[in-house]
Amino acid sequence: MSLGRNERLRLRTLDTSDLALRVRWLNDPEVNRYLSYELPITLDGTLEWFRRVQQDPNREELTICHDGEPIGFCGFLAIDRRAKKAEHHLFIGSRAHRGCGLGQIAYRELVAWGFERLGLNRIYGYQHVDNFAAQRTTHRAGWTREGLLREDGVYHGIASDRYLISMLRSEWAGGHRESR
Ligand SMILES: CC(C)(COP(=O)(O)OP(=O)(O)OC[C@H]1O[C@@H](n2cnc3c(N)ncnc32)[C@H](O)[C@@H]1OP(=O)(O)O)[C@@H](O)C(=O)NCCC(=O)NCCS
């Protein structure tokens, strides 16, 4: 599959109709290998999670669409309006759409959403030290690796080292914005 134009990949607000896909994809070992979710994910638990998220002003949950069809999910948590910062998460759930460069475009759209719509100044996140695809993707999308956090994340019950990564508004405004 070709990379396609950026216009083919869009983010929109997460909808209840997306939740069954979210459950299916998060239970896929190819997706959850380097994610720190408590497995298995259930639809009932996800519906409950979504109800909480919708009430939480410090969260923004989004669906990644390609040609109008959901291919993954991303979003912001711990949105701090005073400090203008938030943590992010992102995954491409559709196997047919993983491994063809769409992750990089999704990261760029996520960052644009955070800076343009949420008015953030800093977006940060965590990456398992062995998650090379994610590291390569965010590096190419202009993110900075800030440091190594030792045994900071719990992945499949094991405390693991992970990197702290970030993107600042000034970096995005200074160049990465144009390359979208
Ligand atoms: C991480 C993720 C978003 C990347 O998106 P993607 O579009 O599928 O990325 P690709 O597979 O096209 O790979 C991106 C880059 O990583 C490289 N890469 C992939 N697997 C790699 C590996 N095992 N070792 C080194 N590099 C690797 C690719 O070659 C590519 O680099 P290039 O553009 O220079 O060729 C996607 O794989 C995903 O959702 N994974 C599961 C969930 C996840 O890990 N999310 C991130 C949590 S921090």
Q: pLDDT, tens digit, for every residue of 101-128?
A: 999 999 999 999 999 999 999 999 999 9
**pLDDT value at 3 more than 90:** no
Q: What is the pLDDT of residue 7?
A: 87
Residue 1 lies in a domain: no
Q: Using one digit for the tens of pLDDT, what is the confidence trace for 9-65?
A: 999 999 999 999 999 999 999 999 999 999 999 999 999 999 999 999 999 999 999
Least confident of 4-13, 99-108, 170-179: 170-179
Query: What pLDDT, on the 0 to 100 scale, is given for residue 161?
Result: 98
Domain assignment present for residue 18? The answer is yes
In a domain, 126, yes or no: yes
Instruction: Give me ligand 1 centre to Cα 102, in Å.
Output: 9
CATH of the domain at 162: 3.40.630.30
Residue nearest to atom 31 of ligand 1 (CA): 136
For residue 102, being part of any structural domain is answered with: yes
Q: Is the CB of 34 under 6 A from ligand 1?
A: yes
Token reading at 44: 């009932």
pLDDT category of residue 177 using cuts at 50, 70 and 90: low
State the DSSP string of 120-171. -SEEEEEEETT-HHHHHHHHHTT-EEEEEEEEEEEETTEEEEEEEEEEEHHH
Residue 5 pLDDT: 42
Mutate to test the pocket of ligand 1, among 98, 110, 152 (most ligand atoms within 8 A of CB): 98
In a domain, 78, yes or no: yes
CA gap 15, 18 in Å, rounded: 5
> Does residue 2 fall inside a structural domain?
no
Percent of the chain whose predicted confidence (pLDDT) is above 70: 93
Locate the ligand 1 atom nearest the alpha carbon of residue 105 and give its number.
7
Ligand 1 atom closest to Cα of 131?
A: 44
Q: Which of 92, 97, 123, 155 to mutate to test the pocket of ligand 1 (most atoms within 8 A of CB)?
A: 92
pLDDT number for residue 132: 98
- Secondary structure (3-state) at 66: strand
Domain count of the fold of the chain: 1
Question: Is residue 155 in a domain?
Answer: yes
Measure 112 CA to ligand 1 centroid, in angstroms. Answer: 20
Q: What's the pLDDT at 30?
A: 97
N-term to C-term CA, the chain: 20
Full domain range(s) for residue 107: 7-176
